[in-house]
Amino acid sequence: MKKILIIVCLFLITPVFAAQIKEEKSVDKIEYMNLEWWNNFNDDILNSHLVTLYEKNYDLKNAALKIKENEQMVKMQFANELPAVNLSGQLARDFQAPLQKFGNMEIPKYSQNNYNIPITAGYEIDIWGKNRLYTKSKKEQLEIVKQAERATYISLSSDFASDYFNLIKADKLIQIQDELIKLEEEILQKTGEKYKAGLCSVDELLNEEKNLAMLKEERNIHLQTRDVLINGLKVYLSDLNSEVSRNSYENVVLINDIPSKYEALIIENRPDYLQEEANLKRIGFNVRAAKREFLPSFTIFGQIGLNAYQLSSLFKSPSQFFSAGILPNFDLFAGGAKKALLKMRKYEYEQAMNDYQKAYLTGIMEINSGLVEYKTSLKNYDETQNRLNTEAKLYSLIKDKEQIGAASNLETLFAKQKYLMAQKEEVSNKISSIMAAIGLYKATGGVNLYKMEKL
């Protein structure tokens, strides 16, 4: 009897050690920021902001908590693969009616206490691997959440960098706009003098007044854009009271020489593709588990404990009891629930397969579109630079003519105005090229584009 009790006790304490699932090796989440890629912009201020984003952003914190939540769900499911043990004490007092009979034996009226302290263990033998499949399904769900977290890092860092460079663009456009307004005020003054001297019509004067008003309106829009971007970046950094430092436009590095073609396997870096792949595996496990719901289950159960009618004899040898057995279970009729569950899982699998294929096509489309946008933006920037250089030459030529008396001061001001307008286009197209590079980085799943192999 003592040997049996020892064996049972060992059986009961085994789950305590088995349930201690080893934690997965933690990933340094700052790797998701891919600072190696952002170093290509040669902007220490941007890198500093990205580190702050990693440390303080609430969306990233929530994504990390979602990971921990799903890790516990995996542990909860894994617990179904282990024996269950519980301890339940009971203190009762029996009040029996008189003349109670057990066959020919008659028991008079009595009352008594009953002390019962059983330890119960049960374990459903996973013969068919059903519980193991459900655990694998939960692990794939955890992988989906991990990829969602990585997608959050890629998206937030890309969106933050886009707003950061747009803020630099707004600063530069405001600076140019101030020059244009100052220049237009001077043009308006000289046009007014010409009008007073009868050298131009009132329409010409009114047009210059209208141009000045339009330039001021445009400046207001740039100021609004700058304020909105600053407030948005403060939210990203989770600090509304800090100043958003940024680089100057003159120090912005244009990202070029990115490979124009990539291997098709680049799609496997995208979090959405990996999520759909994990979801397909997850539902596949659920389908297999649903099939095994039709098979019988077998549960091993055992109970050991103390039972006595007097407290003084509770811990004595005669009060010890032990029972064990195996319980087979097979549903003869369940109203079609299991069949419906299997069909539902199969329909889910078909949907997951469609989503997986769609994710592949969408990824290819977004990468190709990103490449086209990037190449087009670089071409536009080159064209703008050529136009800016032409306007600079014309402006220099008009100034030389003014010095020798072959052109008026007003003509020089108009030439300078055209040069500044071309400069605005150059600023916009340069930042657009950077936006296209960031968009391509995001479309490829946050990889360093310079390290991808060319086809």
In sequence order, the β-bridge partners of residue 58 are none
Query: Which single residue is written with the structure tokens 């009616």?
Result: 97
364-413 residue pLDDT tens: 999 999 999 999 999 999 999 999 999 999 999 999 888 888 888 989 99
Largest CA distance in the chain: 140
Which pLDDT does position 422 carry in this prediction? Answer: 95
289-325 residue pLDDT tens: 999 999 998 888 888 888 887 777 777 777 787 888 8
Res. 104: pLDDT tops 50: yes
Q: How far apart are CA 76 and CA 79, in angstroms?
A: 5
265-290 residue pLDDT tens: 888 899 999 999 999 999 999 999 99
Res. 3: pLDDT tops 60: no
Which pLDDT does position 98 carry in this prediction? Answer: 57
- CA distances, 171 to each of 95, 365, 417, 424 (Å): 90, 34, 19, 11
Res. 429: pLDDT tops 70: yes
Which pLDDT does position 10 carry in this prediction? Answer: 41
Q: What percent of the chain has pLDDT over 70?
A: 90
User: Which uninterrupted H or E stretch holds 429?
Assistant: helix 409-443
110-169 residue pLDDT tens: 777 777 888 888 888 888 989 999 999 999 999 999 999 999 999 999 999 999 999 999
Q: How far apart are CA 387 and CA 400, in angstroms?
A: 20
Which pLDDT does position 332 carry in this prediction? Answer: 82
Res. 25: pLDDT tops 70: no
- The backbone region for 82, taken as left when phi is positive above 0, alpha when psi lies in -120 to 50, beta otherwise, is beta
Which pLDDT does position 136 carry in this prediction? Answer: 94
Collapse the DSSP code of 119 into the 3-class scheme (helix H, G, I; strand E, B; otherwise coil) and give the result.
strand
Which of the 8 DSSP states describes residue 318?
A: G
Res. 454: pLDDT tops 50: no
The one-letter amino acid at 373: E
Q: How far apart are CA 70 and CA 79, in angstroms?
A: 14
Q: Is the dihedral of CA 285, 289, 292, 298 positive or negative?
A: positive
- CA distances, 382 to each of 108, 376, 377, 396 (Å): 109, 10, 9, 21
Which pLDDT does position 78 carry in this prediction? Answer: 87
Which pLDDT does position 406 carry in this prediction? Answer: 85
Residue among 113, 75, 122 nearest 94 (CA)? 113
- Which tokens sit at 355? 């989503």
Q: How far apart are CA 455 and CA 450, in angstroms?
A: 13
- Which tokens sit at 204? 């010409």
Collapse the DSSP code of 199 into the 3-class scheme (helix H, G, I; strand E, B; otherwise coil) and give the result.
coil
Residue among 444, 376, 388, 435 nearest 255 (CA)? 435
261 versus 387: the higher-pLDDT residue is 387
- Which tokens sit at 211? 């141009």
Q: How far apart are CA 136 and CA 125, in angstroms?
A: 17
208-242 residue pLDDT tens: 999 999 999 999 999 999 999 999 999 999 998 88
Which pLDDT does position 82 carry in this prediction? Answer: 82
Res. 452: pLDDT tops 80: no
Q: How far apart are CA 56 and CA 105, in angstroms?
A: 79
Which of the 8 DSSP states describes residue 34?
A: -
Counting Cα atoms < 13 Å in the Cβ hemisphere of 83 gives 23
Res. 173: pLDDT tops 50: yes
- pTM here is 0.84
Q: How far apart are CA 160 and CA 270, in angstroms?
A: 19
Do the beta carbons of residue 136 and residue 77 sit within 8 Å? no
Distance of CA 244 to the CA centre of its chain: 24
Residue among 2, 52, 56, 54 nearest 33 (CA)? 54
Q: How far apart are CA 77 and CA 180, in angstroms?
A: 67
- CA distances, 190 to each of 199, 347, 408 (Å): 11, 77, 11
- Which tokens sit at 37? 């890629």
